[in-house]
Chain A
Amino acid sequence: MSDADPAVPEADAPESATAAVIAAAKESDFALVVGTLLAIYAAAALLSFTDGLNSVVGLMETLTFLGLVYALTALALNLQWGYTGLFNIGVAGFMAVGVYTMGMVVRSPDPAFGPPGLGLPLPVGVLAGMGMAALLGGIAALPALRLKADYLAIVTLGLSEIIRLSLQSSAFDSFLRDTIGAGTGGGRGMGMPDNPVRDLFLVDGQAGTPTALGDLVFGVFGTDGLGISHPILIGWGYIAVLAAFLVGFYLLLERLGRSPFGRTMKAIREDELVANSLGKDVNLVKIKVFVIGCALMGLAGILWFGSQGNVSPTPQFRPLLTFYVFIAVIIGGSGSNTGSVLGGIVFAAVLFEGPRRVGGAVRGLIDAETPGSFADALVSLDPVTLLAYAADNVAPLQFVFLGLVLVFIIHRRPEGVLGDRIETAAAVDLSERPAGGESDE
């Protein structure tokens, strides 16, 4: 009577009531994610429907892309921080290492623009990027073995800044070109290899020469059909890839969490000495968690920034990126994988992209000239002028709002906005004693 299929725990085990509850919970998790997305889509449609279907679908595409990449990164961070209590605020650095390594490995040795690369196939580049991020993660784990959480925070932040400054440095660029024959491009960054998803739709990625699939899709949805621009449609194709990776991340991390390894991670978060005294090699587990999490961050960096055409160290990989991911994890409730996914989606739509769009929409409604500075707006004593200034400068206000949200959550809802979701750390259902235990209860 063992639970044979771990992916669907207890699917046909005797305790069918439990199985039903679990199945329902799983469904509701999935439903929660889909429901959140639908609500976001509805808001997006409301915001942009006056501009036509193309704009609506385009905005949805942007929001979905951001939601997925934040969810991916939040999942990786949740493994380290949420499960194991390792306060790594160098996320941006590990993402940068992943995507830069990928670019350097894959780029042509003799490119038309930018630094040379090694010219190896894309999968090699992706694995190399993950490997390099994992390696650096392993090194970053060394301080985690001895330092308090707040020191670790500073060390990882410092490391991520060292990475960014190194990528920024032209001296480092020439050094790499001289030694391994591939450069970083310094402050100008580098162009990313062609996205294979684009090649699915377009022959050699050339606009105007669609493949059979491209013909089909463009015919139905594109300029010949519903009138949606082709880059947006290709973007949706890439979103399908991201969604597949997200499912992969989620399953991997759920399995990791629901296992004896997951119990050890939780125990380390709760009390290292106890875990150690119970025969758990705490240091080894910490290193493993850092390596796995950083490899996933590297992969998330590749999937995210590798698809953006060009990467440059600043401002893309500023520590602010790390804080975004942290906010996503905190919103969802640290320690919960489903929470991380939801947190990523909600953060991207509501806190990251939403305010800019709303600001733009509001500005469109105001018929006033934007004053040159806040002081000018203030002395005008005209609320409309002030509003125009605010709408045009929505970016800083958005950050202020982010800060307020962060403080609010820490004050009022430290377990996350989406509720305290306790995940079981075992490969089997613990909610009820199985039929085998016939003793009184």
Chain B
Amino acid sequence: MGTTDSSIVDAARARPGLLFAVLLGGLLLVDLAAKLGGVGLGPIGGSVSVDRLGSNLWNGVVIGLVIGLAGIGLSMTYSILSFANFSHGDLVSAGAFTGWGVAFLIAGFGDVPVRALLTVRDAGSASPGDVGAHILSTPGAILVGLVAAFVVTSLLAVALDRAFYKPMRDRDGISLLIASIGAALIVRYLLQFGYGSDRRGVTASVEQSNLAFGPLGVSVNAHELTILVAAVGLMVAMHAMLQHTKLGTAMRAMADNKDLALITGIPAERVVTATWIIGGGLAGASGYLYVLLRGTIQFDFGWLLLLLIFAAVILGGIGSVYGAIVGGLVIGVVFTTSTIWIPSDFNQAAAFAVMILMLLLRPEGLFGGVSTA
């Protein structure tokens, strides 16, 4: 009840926490404006260059795209299979290693032993830089690697489902969650066993890969552009699949109301398999792209990303594919721009804090309700 006049007051009274969050956000924006203008008012203001803000935002968007891409899969499995999959981060790592193994194989075939190439490491005198994997020098290898990351991770996800999750379809979410912690350990440490535990450089450095965007002073490098194109491409493909195919409709129905979907004769197991193929594949692709962005790879980087991916999914509302993308962008931007206000070793904590606040204040996410649309 209540008219439009009082509805804001009502909402504020009903959800004081939300009001607080909005006020805090507003304050930060005012502060940001003051910082950009170089105005200082007591604790508010200071100085931040437009360049810095611009590059922070751009970095946030790129990281956010990668996180969002990984988040799509997590969100899909969460809504369709009804459990929080803690092995999703390790699917991200698995995709990165297998994808880069293939990319190295193509880029460096003949010069370096195959076993070193496939395990993404330097061998003898050849460092990863010598392999020369870079979008400008070996675009074909990079693209094939991306496809390989998608395909191999899809297969891995389906295999994990068959081995671990399928036998417990009717169990509660917490049991599945615990099983997924087990699966996460298995995948992560098989990666360590096979690929080693050292962090190593992967991408080659190519001169003049940076393109400067004049007015904002933001410099964009070729790998960031690649990520932008690949991630947006995958997201668009995802959208098309969900909206215009029978499978997409079935998936949305399953996410909406499982019982109803089953009654109406949706082949549940096939939808579940498709979910793992797509969700796992996107996770693998995002891991591959993350390494392209960072230039280094380590066996547990996906696990370390997992909580950020969860943050993105929760922010966007579990079950919502577009929510995951937007959530990823928000988390990415929080991650990179929070350093304007807080020490840089707190940026990850800031992203987690945003997630916890979201769960407390608006557990249904930014876009509310469960829908894979």
**Do the two chains touch directly in the complex (Cβ atoms below 8 Å apart)?**
yes
Which single member of A396, A405, A406, A414 contacts B189 (CB below 8 Å)? A396
Q: Inter-chain contact count A-B, CB under 8 Å?
A: 148
A402 touches B185 (CB 8 A): yes
Tell me the bound Cα distance from A374 to B119 in angstroms.
9
Q: Decide yes or no: A158 and B307 within 8 Å by CB, A406-B181, A406-B182 being known contacts.
A: yes
B349 touches A165 (CB 8 A): yes
Which residue of A172, A397, A407 has the most chain B CB atoms within 10 A of its CB atom? A407
CB neighbors of B among A384-411 (8 A): 393, 395-400, 402-407, 410-411
Which residue of B115, B183, B314 has the most chain A CB atoms within 10 A of its CB atom? B115
Per-residue A-contact encoding for B235-254, CB less than 8 Å = 1, 0 else: 00000000000000000000
Tell me the bound Cα distance from A92 to B119 in angstroms.
33
Closest to A378 in B: B115
B195 interface contact, C-beta 8 A: yes
CB neighbors of B among A126-155 (8 A): 142-143, 146-151, 153-155
Min CB–CB distance A139 → chain B (angstroms): 10
Q: Decide yes or no: A397 and B175 within 8 Å by CB, A143-B356, A157-B307, A159-B356 being known contacts.
A: no
Tell me the bound Cα distance from A374 to B186 in angstroms.
17
Closest to A171 in B: B343
A283 interface contact, C-beta 8 A: no
Query: Which of chain B's residues have a CB closer than 8 A to the CB of A155?
Result: 355-356, 359-360
Closest to B172 in A: A149
Per-residue A-contact encoding for B330-341, CB less than 8 Å = 1, 0 else: 000000000000
Q: How many residues of B contact A (CB 8 A)?
A: 48
Query: Which of chain B's residues have a CB closer than 8 A to the CB of A397?
Result: 189, 193
A373 touches B359 (CB 8 A): no
Query: Which of chain B's residues have a CB closer than 8 A to the CB of A396?
Result: 189-190, 192-193, 197
A305 interface contact, C-beta 8 A: no
Query: Which of chain B's residues have a CB closer than 8 A to the CB of A406?
Result: 178-179, 181-182, 185
B348 touches A150 (CB 8 A): no
A80 interface contact, C-beta 8 A: no
Min CB–CB distance A76 → chain B (angstroms): 18
A407 touches B345 (CB 8 A): no
Query: Which of chain A's residues have a CB closer than 8 A to the CB of B178?
Result: 326, 330, 406, 410
A404 touches B182 (CB 8 A): yes
B84 touches A375 (CB 8 A): no
Q: Decide yes or no: A399 and B115 within 8 Å by CB, A153-B84, A158-B307, A172-B343 being known contacts.
A: no
A172 touches B346 (CB 8 A): yes
Which residue of A142, A159, A410 has the most chain B CB atoms within 10 A of its CB atom? A410
A169 interface contact, C-beta 8 A: yes
Query: Which of chain B's residues have a CB closer than 8 A to the CB of A353?
Result: none
Tell me the bound Cα distance from A149 to B343 in angstroms.
32
B348 touches A165 (CB 8 A): yes
Query: Which of chain A's residues have a CB closer than 8 A to the CB of B119?
Result: 373-375
A399 touches B188 (CB 8 A): yes
CB neighbors of A among B181-224 (8 A): 181-186, 188-190, 192-197
B100 interface contact, C-beta 8 A: no
A87 interface contact, C-beta 8 A: yes
Min CB–CB distance A356 → chain B (angstroms): 14
B311 interface contact, C-beta 8 A: yes
Tell me the bound Cα distance from A143 to B361 in angstroms.
10
Which single member of A150, A165, A374, A379 contacts B346 (CB below 8 Å)? A165
A216 interface contact, C-beta 8 A: no
B174 touches A150 (CB 8 A): yes
B177 touches A375 (CB 8 A): no
Q: Decide yes or no: A158 and B355 within 8 Å by CB, A150-B177, A153-B84 being known contacts.
A: yes
B179 touches A411 (CB 8 A): yes
A403 touches B183 (CB 8 A): yes
Tell me the bound Cα distance from A61 to B307 in angstroms.
37
B363 interface contact, C-beta 8 A: yes
Which single member of B174, B185, B348 contacts A323 (CB below 8 Å)? B185
Q: Decide yes or no: A165 and B363 within 8 Å by CB, A375-B115, A379-B115 being known contacts.
A: no
Query: Which of chain A's residues have a CB closer than 8 A to the CB of B193?
Result: 374, 393, 396-397, 400
Closest to B118 in A: A375
Min CB–CB distance A283 → chain B (angstroms): 14
A400 touches B185 (CB 8 A): yes
A424 interface contact, C-beta 8 A: no
Tell me the bound Cα distance from A403 to B168 in angstroms.
16
A407 touches B189 (CB 8 A): no
Q: Decide yes or no: A158 and B356 within 8 Å by CB, A170-B345, A403-B182, A411-B167 being known contacts.
A: yes
B346 touches A171 (CB 8 A): yes
Tell me the bound Cα distance from A378 to B311 in angstroms.
39
- Besides A149-B173, A396-B190, 4 other A-B contacts (C-beta < 8 A): A150-B84, A157-B307, A171-B343, A373-B121
Which 5 pairs, one residue from A and one from B, show the smallest C-beta to C-beta distance?
A: A403-B185, A171-B343, A406-B182, A375-B115, A403-B186
